[in-house]
Structure formats: structure tokens, C-alpha cells
Structure 1
Amino acid sequence: MNRRNLLFSLGLLGAGTLSSRWGFSRLARSAAPDSPLSAEAQALVDKAWEGVDPARMVDCHVHLVGLGTDGTGCYVNPRTEQLLRHPITYFKFAIYRRAAGVEDSEHPDRQYRERLLSLIKTAPMRGRALVLAFDYVHDEAGKPRPELSEFHTPNDYVLKLAQDNPEHVLAGASIHPYRPDAVDELERVAALGARAVKWLPNAMGIHPGSSRCDAFYRKLVELKMPLLTHAGEEQAVEAEDAQALGNPLHLRRPLDAGVKVVVAHAASLGTSEDLDKPGGDHVDNFQLFMRMVGEERAKGLLHADFSAMTQANRCGVPLREMLTREDFHSRLIHGSDYPLPAINALIRTGKLEDLGYINADARRALNELDRHNPILFDFVLKRTLTVQQDGKTYRFPPSAFMLPEGLLRGV
């Protein structure tokens, strides 16, 4: 997740008319996955799949959100419906609602779910998606705090989606480690088929470097389950009072415990205190993450998902370095961060062309794919990106889009 907008969720169920009135349809779009592709767009799709085994292709960063209709147990903070008190949040949710294709005010959770499944299942998209739960904020005593939480997606909702769609969906659980039952819940969801655990420390109130997490880390190692965690500045959900929890260097603790750690977006936003030089200046989070990459403790354990790296606020130095650092390509994990790719304001193909990542012909075909299926668009865009440097052409290899063996539990 990222950019001061995520919570893409479904909020604003009453904002359907406002979306049109305020022009939100120009900021986000609901694509038509059954629309025919031109020969040029289809050729770009075919080229993108060259060398990528669909059986090993997993989008490891897909969000499932809801309001709790039809018994899903989901939750979105009521402030998303409070126009006068929280206008930014209110209108932000209208954009995410539009991006997710949610128009049904009576059954929004079902519509979001069915829309997501159609994007994953409809050709020429292939592979599977790791769909993520999201736990409540918990206080120091381990008590859930819904009023402080932006949203909540229960583990059981995600697990059922995976059980009902085994060829297309893998379940990613989310468990706050301060919960009194955290280890028990981890064992429970693992037995039911969960493949990974998702954290967003800044927004959930988790200190990854705290000893309070040690028992949870030990159980992750025992269960051979990775931790997919955000690091760096969080701009998607409310986290202003806890940005320090996103310091990438805090993740040394789970690495030292032997946990496989996947850092979302390669910690590519914001700055944090350099904990190796207490009292010193803040350092770019991406630099702190890349410092850890070279450490002995990280070998075989530290990965980065490069979801959202094509967004306007990340497509400079972080994206360029991800492309040119061939020594790091084996640690890259593909993720779309759906539904963010369906928001025009976040991914701008014109800017990517200006920066030299794509040419005009590719941009036209990509824009067509963007209108067709945002998840497919995200994949093909990343397979199309190139960087010319020192007489050499760099691109993401097919292996970056195929799941490393043993990374996810049981996959």
C-alpha cells in the first residue's frame, strides 16, 4: 500500500453520484476485463509472458476490503463517511471505490470480491494472487482498537476465498503480534492454509524490533511462513504518530530470528533515524533497506516486493536502482498492490515515458491494457520497463515474476 491514499477500500458507498459530479471517474476507472484487445496490445501481453511460467507466477500483494455486508466481518472506519469532519478521507474513499468497481450500496463486499476474482481469472491474465487480510490496531495490552483502525479484513474471510478458489487465490493472514492469542492464531490459520503474514507496522502499532514479537517470530520460523511487511513512510493509512515504526532497520530482529521477510515496496518512501548512528541525521528509507540487503543476516531471508514502484512518487531513484541492480533481482517478489493500479493519479504512463522507461508505442498499448484489466496492466508494465545505462539495457527478468521455491508456506 502507499501514497497518501490507500485504504482503497470501499468507503463512500453513498458517493456514487458525487464520484461523477466531482470528476472522480477521471482519477480512477473501472476497467472492462472482457473487452477485446488490439493486435498491438495483445502482442505486448504475449511478450510479457515470455519466460514466465504461469504456474509459478504469484501476485503477492492483493488487497481484499469490505464493509461487513453479507457476513464478511470486514470493517472500515466510520470517518470515511463523514464528509464535513473528514473531507479528505471521504473523497479519497470515493476514488478507491471507483477503482475497485464498487457501485452496489447493498452488497459492496460481494461486488468487490467478484470484481477482484474476475480480474484474476479472465484471460489473458494467468497465475495466482496472494490475497491479504488486515488486522486491527492493538494497544500495548494487546486489546483491539477499531476506533484507531482504518480498516479490518478478517483472516477467515480471506481463507474462505482461497478455499473456494484454490486455482487462483492464496491466503495471506494478518495477526497483530501483541494479541494474547497471536501465536495460537498463527497456528490456526497455518493449519487452514494461510501462506504468509501481512503487517503494516506504522498503521497497526507494531514495533518489529521489539522483544514482544520474539515468540511470534519463532513460530513463523517453525511454520516456515514469511512475513510480508511494509517499511518506510506510510502514506496510505493514518500513521502520522507512528512513522518511526516503519524504520527498515527494525526488521533486523526478525531476520536474526531466521524469519523470511518480504519488504513491501522496498521501503521506498520517506526517511528514518539511522539506528547505526544514534542521534544522527535521518536517512532515506530506501538506502537503509539497501544497506540491510548486503548484511550477512539477510542472506536467503530478505526480499522486496516491487509493488507500487511504478507510481509517480517512487519511479525515480528507487525504481531505477531496482532495475539496474541485477545482483538484487533474485530477491524481487512481484506484487500489484491492487486496487492501486486502477488509479490514474498514481501510475502515469506519460511520466514513465518521459523518464525513458517505456516508448510511445508501448505507452499506447499499456494505456489500452489499463482500461482492460489493471492487474494485467501492472504486470505487463513492469515486464516492459527498461533502463539504458552505460551502453546496457536493464529490465526485470522473468524470474522476478515467479515465486521462489519455499518462500510461501506450502507453495
Structure 2
Amino acid sequence: MAEHCLKNRRLSGRCLRRGALLLAALPLLLWLASGCIVDRVGGAFAYQPAELAAGLSPEARGLLARAMEGVDPKQVVDFHVHLVGTDEGGHGCRVHPDMTSPLHPLHYFRYRAYLSASGVEEGPRADDEYLARFLDLAHYALPGARFFLLPFEAAYGSSGVLDEERTPFQVPNAYAREVVDKYPDTFLSAVSVHPYRADALEVLAEYAASGARLVKWLPNSMGMDPADPACDEFYSALKEHGMALLVHVGQEEAFATEMDQELANPLRLRRPLDAGVKVIAAHCGSLGTALDLDDPARPQVPCFQLFLRLMGEERYRGLLFGEISAVTQVNRYGECLETLLERRDLHPRLVHGSDYPLPALNIAFQTSALSRAGFLSAAEREALNEIYNYNPLLFDLVLKRTVRSPGAGDGQVAGFPASVFLGNPALPPEDR
């Protein structure tokens, strides 16, 4: 009994010391989360989008003109733009409490950085400010372009029970549809429906009837297994409604909540593909490793190599596509970016996605690293930095049109071809 009491006192003492340290550090953490450090990591842009035309140097204007050759802004389709909202906006959005609490300093700092990148302040107007900021960026970057606006589903267990603790944030389908209806010339309708929900088929049918053509999944966070036979009815419904499935493949590092990274194994996409569903693999599996389900030994293999394996299977031609958002991020470029640039046979099956607001997150896109690795020249880096300072959304497209394979030399035609940014005739909204 005495030993038990002593142990409890020791545990209590450690907890008190940790609490005291946290309280002592709290002013510093709050300063970091509200000061210039967050803006350097998050939204380090210095000017407004409307100022770009008059503010760019001749070198930056030249780079922009070269990047836009063959790219008619009115034909651009972006498959990956997030609709974001907070608990206070009145649109039914939800953010995990850990992300908004200074008692969880790393998650709180990350959340503040995302707000900074989005160009908004926390508070009841954050939802409206986020939308207004994006519309401003889009108008001055790509007037007439169309953007699939993505809501974000909650996490569910295999039994169909909502898992709020595992849900990093939630953006309702109804809010996304409201925005699309208000700005039909800018946004294309997408929906995020968990296949384990008891009402999944009914919700899918409802939004398909209202014009949604794309379904977004992030299995690592949401908890669905694309290879689960329980999804078969959902896949049949997707095909019936003529809807494509945009699925995050590869590791996910953006959220504070528990992740099951294996659920984003590219090989798990075989089940929807075999059911005839058109699948867009977000990020081309450019981060992390997963089990090689084709090998009895189950070794860990880079997700990008598993994605390429699927792309190489003839039976999936016309069904499987790669979406290139984030492939220029500092934690993803390298073999992935070099291979995607060099493999011209893949280009007709690649589509553009910005993953906005991530292109505005300064720490994630480091042109200095791309320059050192040979993907950009020093002059291109400087010009791209100028463009970022005015319009991170435009920066994302120009960067992808500018990077070149390091071994190709300055004479090579740079960047992803213009066709990648102009939608795909086999995918929404062009496939009808």
C-alpha cells in the first residue's frame, strides 16, 4: 500500500511539473502562434492579387507569359480546392478542439499557419474571408477557370458510427453546394460521402441529382478502406451516377488526429477500378510507403512506385488518373517529380489540382530547394517568388509549368504540358 501511494505521488509530481512547464511556456507559444513566425511559415505573401500586373518585374512577367503559353484560363480545371470553415462561421463546419487549443501547441501552431496561408483571421467571419480570398485569387490568376470545390467528410468506424475524436475537421456537403450554387461560373460541384454511413447511398444519390460529379475521400483520416467489399454497393452507385472518385493516396501529414496510413495504399484502389469506377489518385502517391499487397512477403514499398504499377496495367487505362497537387512540395519532390516530368506516356492521364490552400503555405513550397536540386534555375526561382508574393494560386500553376527534370538541361521544354491543366475528356465535367 505504501509503495502504491509513493508511486501515485511520483506520477502526480511529474504531471504537476509538466503542467508547470506548459504554463511557463504558454506566453512564448502564444507569441509564436500569433506573431510574425506564423506568417513566415504560413502566408508569407506581401501584396494583393490585383497588384500583380503592375508590380511584377520584367523577368517575372516573362516567366508568367511562358508558363501560360497554350493554357487558356477559361479551359483550366482544378480538381482539388478545399472549402474550409471554422466552428464559428455558422455553416456547420467543425475543427478538432486540439487544433484550436494552445494546450496542444504543435497542433495549434499548425492551425494558425493554415489560417495565415488562407489569408484569414480566426473568428465568426473566417469562413466568408476564406471564400472571398480564394475568389480574389482565382479572378486575378485564372479568370474563367473552374475549380472542384471539396467538402470534407467526418471519420466513421467500420460499423458506421461517427468518430468525432478521429475527425480533424468537417465541412458539410450542404455548405459546399450552397457555395457552388452561388458561384456556378467558378466552382464545380463535389461531395464527400463516407461509404460506411448508413445513409451513404441516399446522400450520394441526392447530390448526384443536384449536379455533383466528383467524390472526395481521404482514407487515412476518414477511415474507409477502398479495398473493403462493404464499399461495393457504393462503387456501383458511383458508376451509375457517372461520378469519379478523387482519393488521397500515400502518407498524410497535415492533421492532428489519428491516422491509418495503410488505408491510402494505392493498391487498395484495385477494387473500385475493377468495379469500373473512374479513380483520380490525388498526389500520385508521392509520399510515404505502403505494403506491397502483390508480394506474399508484404515488403514496404514507396507509394509512388505502387501508383506507377497501377498506371502500367492496361486494364486500368481510361479508369485510373493521377492528380499532381503537392508533387512540388518540399517533402515530396525528387524521384516522384522527376519521373512524372520525364514519363510523357503518363501525361495524358495526369490532371491538375492545386490542393488550395496548401500552395499558400510558404514552408511547404521551397523554391530554393527545387533550385538546388536542379528543377529550377536561380532566375526562375526569383521570378516564382515574386509571383507567390502576389498570388499563391497562380504561383502553383506557374511552378508546375516551369520545373524541369534536373538531368535534362536548360534546353528541355520545361514543366508539365498545358494539356494537364485543361481537364480531361474522360473525366468530369467534360465526359458528358
Q: Pick one of 354, 362, 383 that aligns with 2:380.
A: 362
Find out whether 1:295 has 2:313 as its counterpart: yes
Cα 1:130–1:297 change in 2 (3 A) is same
Q: Pick one of 55, 61, 65 that aligns with 1:46.
A: 65
Q: Distance in 2 between matches of 1:124 and 1:251?
A: 32
Q: Distance in 2 between matches of 1:408 and 1:239?
A: 32
- The CA deviation at 1:240 is 5.0
- Greater helix fraction, Structure 1 or Structure 2: 2
Q: Which runs of 5+ in 2 are unaligned?
A: 1-28
Structure number, greater radius of gyration: 2
1:8 maps to none
Find out whether 1:21 has 2:64 as its counterpart: no
Q: Pick one of 43, 50, 68 that aligns with 1:34.
A: 50
1:59 maps to 78
* 1:62-73 pair list within 5 angstroms: 62-73=81-92
Find out whether 1:75 has 2:91 as its counterpart: no
1:9 maps to none
Find out whether 1:310 has 2:341 as its counterpart: no
Contact 2:39/2:116 (<8 A) preserved: yes
- The CA deviation at 1:74 is 0.8
Cα 1:390–1:362 change in 2 (3 A) is closer
Q: Distance in 2 between matches of 1:270 and 1:197?
A: 23
Find out whether 1:247 has 2:265 as its counterpart: yes
Q: Pick one of 346, 349, 358 that aligns with 1:328.
A: 346
2:421 maps to 401
State the structure with bigger RCO (CA 8 A, min sep 6), 1 or 2: 1
2:180 maps to 162
- The CA deviation at 1:191 is 1.3
Contact 1:273/1:281 (<8 A) preserved: yes
Contact 1:309/1:315 (<8 A) preserved: yes
Q: Distance in 2 between matches of 1:241 and 1:112?
A: 26
- The amino acid across from 1:34 in the alignment is A
Q: Distance in 2 between matches of 1:145 and 1:240?
A: 11
Q: Distance in 2 between matches of 1:150 and 1:314?
A: 22
- The amino acid across from 1:226 in the alignment is A
SS of equivalent to 1:105: coil
Cα 1:244–1:123 change in 2 (3 A) is closer
2:246 maps to 228
SS of equivalent to 1:212: helix
Q: What is the aligned residue count?
A: 396
- The CA deviation at 1:42 is 2.4
Sequence identity, in percent? 45
1:150-177 deviation per Cα after TM superposition (whole angstroms, max 9, x unaligned):
0001111111111111111112210000
SS of equivalent to 2:193: coil
SS of equivalent to 2:55: coil
- The CA deviation at 1:123 is 4.6
Contact 1:323/1:387 (<8 A) preserved: yes
SS of equivalent to 1:183: helix
Q: Distance in 1 between matches of 2:213 and 2:30?
A: 36
SS of equivalent to 2:235: helix
2:24 maps to none
1:7 maps to none
SS of equivalent to 1:170: strand
1:208 maps to 226
Contact 2:85/2:126 (<8 A) preserved: yes
- The amino acid across from 1:49 in the alignment is M
Q: Distance in 2 between matches of 1:277 and 1:342?
A: 40
Q: Distance in 2 between matches of 1:18 and 1:274?
A: 42
Q: Which runs of 4+ in 1 moved over 6 A?
A: none
SS of equivalent to 1:287: helix
Contact 1:30/1:100 (<8 A) preserved: no
Find out whether 1:274 has 2:274 as its counterpart: no
Q: Which runs of 5+ in 1 are unaligned?
A: 1-14
Q: Distance in 2 between matches of 1:216 and 1:357?
A: 41
- The CA deviation at 1:22 is 5.8
SS of equivalent to 1:146: coil
Q: Distance in 1 between matches of 2:40 and 2:406?
A: 32
SS of equivalent to 1:262: strand
* Greater displacement, 335-344 / 249-258: 335-344
Find out whether 1:193 has 2:211 as its counterpart: yes
2:201 maps to 183
* 1:76-91 pair list within 5 angstroms: 76-84=95-103, 86-91=104-109
Cα 1:287–1:207 change in 2 (3 A) is same
1:95 maps to 113
Q: Distance in 1 between matches of 2:259 and 2:122?
A: 35
* 1:372-383 pair list within 5 angstroms: 372-383=390-401
Cα 1:170–1:149 change in 2 (3 A) is same
- The amino acid across from 1:95 in the alignment is A
